[in-house]
């Protein structure tokens, strides 16, 4: 599942920026980035963890204990302190968004362009290389290719980067033909 940055809460971004600036100041960027990637991955893969973060019933102390048990000593001191502050402020429901925003800030800082590709079947290595080759002509930045298999596309692919999208899927072509047929039928009914 591709998680879009468009859906990130506006409240989460300043927190992510503050963590980013602090990690940069303390020269801990790589370790905090690794922690935020782990948090993002956990939120994507574990629905129960996500529900715990968003639960209004669980008390702050309980959530802090759960976060401490989940991450134990596997995260940096900065991230541990950040999680403690966020839960104390009762903003833990925004942690997934904060982690995504942090990773986005990191990629921007490192000059990495994330390119999303959706296909009906998994990409072969040859096609993956071809996509990266074509995308390298669009940007001088390093590329991060995020792949997602969506069988409903039937065939072809959808490529997204920055605010651009190229949809060469069969599903898109079928939808275009449906619209054209509807317009033809509408035209015929008028006469």
Q: Are 118 and 150 in contact (CB under 8 A)?
A: yes
Q: Pairing relation of β-strands 112-119 and 164-167?
A: unpaired
Delimit the CATH 1.10.520.20 region(s) of the chain: 5-108
Q: In the beta sheet, which residues pair with residue 115?
A: 145, 161
Q: What is the pLDDT of residue 173?
A: 93
79 pLDDT tier (thresholds 50, 70, 90):
very high
Q: Mind spelling out the 3-state secondary structure of the chain?
A: CCCCHHHCCCCHHHHHHHHHHHHHHCCCHHHHHHHHHHHHHHHHHCHHHHHHHHCCCCCHHHHHHHHHHHHCCCCCHHHHHHHHHHHHCCCHHHHHHHHHHHHHHHHHHHCEEEEEEEECCCCCHHHHHHHHHHHHCCCCCEEEEEEEECHHHCCCEEEEECCEEEECCHHHHHHHHHHHHHHHHHHHHHC
pLDDT value at 4 more than 50 = no
Mean pLDDT of the chain: 90
140 pLDDT tier (thresholds 50, 70, 90):
confident
| Each residue's pLDDT tens digit, 155-186 | 999 999 888 899 999 999 999 999 988 888 77
**pTM of the predicted model, to two decimals?**
0.75
User: Given 1.10.760.10, 1.10.520.20, 1.10.357.20, 3.20.20.140, which CATH number is that of 5-108?
Assistant: 1.10.520.20
Q: What is the pLDDT of residue 97?
A: 95
């Amino acid at each position: 599942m591709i998680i879009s940055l468009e859906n990130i809460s506006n409240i989460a971004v300043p927190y992510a920026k503050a963590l980013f600036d602090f990690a940069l100041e303390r020269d801990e960027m790589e370790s905090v980035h690794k922690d935020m990637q782990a948090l993002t991955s956990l939120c994507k893969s574990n629905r129960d963890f996500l529900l715990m973060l968003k639960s209004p019933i669980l008390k702050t102390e309980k959530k802090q204990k759960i976060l401490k048990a989940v991450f134990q000593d596997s995260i940096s001191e900065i991230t541990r302190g950040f999680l403690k502050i966020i839960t104390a402020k009762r903003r833990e429901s925004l942690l997934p968004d904060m982690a995504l925003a942090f990773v986005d800030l990191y990629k921007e800082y490192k000059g990495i362009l994330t390119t999303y590709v959706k296909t009906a079947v998994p990409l072969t290595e040859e096609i993956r290389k071809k996509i990266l080759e074509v995308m390298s002509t669009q940007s001088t930045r390093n590329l991060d290719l995020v792949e997602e298999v969506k069988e409903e596309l039937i065939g072809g692919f959808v490529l997204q980067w920055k605010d651009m999208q190229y949809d060469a899927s069969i599903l898109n072509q079928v939808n275009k033909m449906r619209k054209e047929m509807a317009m033809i039928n509408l035209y015929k009914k008028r006469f």
